[in-house]
């Protein structure tokens, strides 16, 4: 690994706090030149879903990245990351755990979405993002499950 590389443990994204204009740990002039995604059985069935207000807008108001290892429709392993619904993206490990060992169906996907957002806190202006984020995750999971590999 490049000595200057930022790994997950170092947290690329910063919470806004007193400096909402500084979003990452990158110093002025630093660039991300690449990233490594570890290979595994879950990498064969993956989906990124980005929900936008308008087609012309580049940023997501909700997004879900899902990678699944399924055997006979049973979730052996899941990787889930959510974005757009909070100040920083996050890996939804609670949702991953809720799916493991279960058949992938709408009910399991909904339980995973509930787990992913169980600790979510809203303000008056962003409360819509929780149901939107849940719907986005359910859709991404089900679409991933239907992929032919």
pLDDT at 102 over 70: yes
pLDDT at 4 over 60: no
b/e map of 32-44 (b: 16 or more CB within 10 Å)? eeeeeeeeeebee
State how many domains the chain has: 1
In a domain, 108, yes or no: yes
Q: What is the pLDDT of residues 12-60, one digit of tens each?
A: 888 878 888 888 888 889 988 888 878 899 888 999 999 998 877 778 9
pLDDT at 2 over 50: no
Q: Is 74 helix (H, G, I), strand (E, B) or coil?
A: strand
CATH of the domain at 69: 3.30.390.50
In a domain, 121, yes or no: yes
In a domain, 34, yes or no: no
Q: State the pairing for strand pair 46-51/90-91.
A: unpaired
| Domain region containing 124 | 39-146
pLDDT of the residue at 10: 52
State if pTM tops 0.95.
Answer: no
């Amino acid at each position: 690994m490049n000595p200057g590389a930022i790994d997950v443990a170092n947290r690329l994204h910063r919470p806004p706090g007193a400096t909402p204009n500084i979003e990452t740990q990158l110093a002025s002039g630093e660039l991300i030149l690449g990233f490594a995604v570890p290979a595994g059985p879950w990498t064969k069935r993956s989906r990124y879903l980005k929900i936008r207000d308008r087609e012309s807008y580049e940023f997501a108001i909700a997004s879900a990245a899902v990678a699944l290892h399924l055997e006979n429709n049973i979730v052996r392993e899941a990787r889930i990351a959510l974005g757009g619904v909070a100040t920083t993206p996050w890996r939804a490990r609670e949702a991953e755990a809720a799916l493991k060992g279960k058949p992938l169906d709408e009910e399991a996907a909904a339980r995973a979405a509930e787990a992913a957002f169980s600790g979510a806190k809203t303000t008056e202006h962003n409360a819509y993002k929780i149901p939107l984020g849940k719907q986005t995750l359910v859709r991404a999971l089900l679409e991933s499950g239907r992929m032919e590999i």
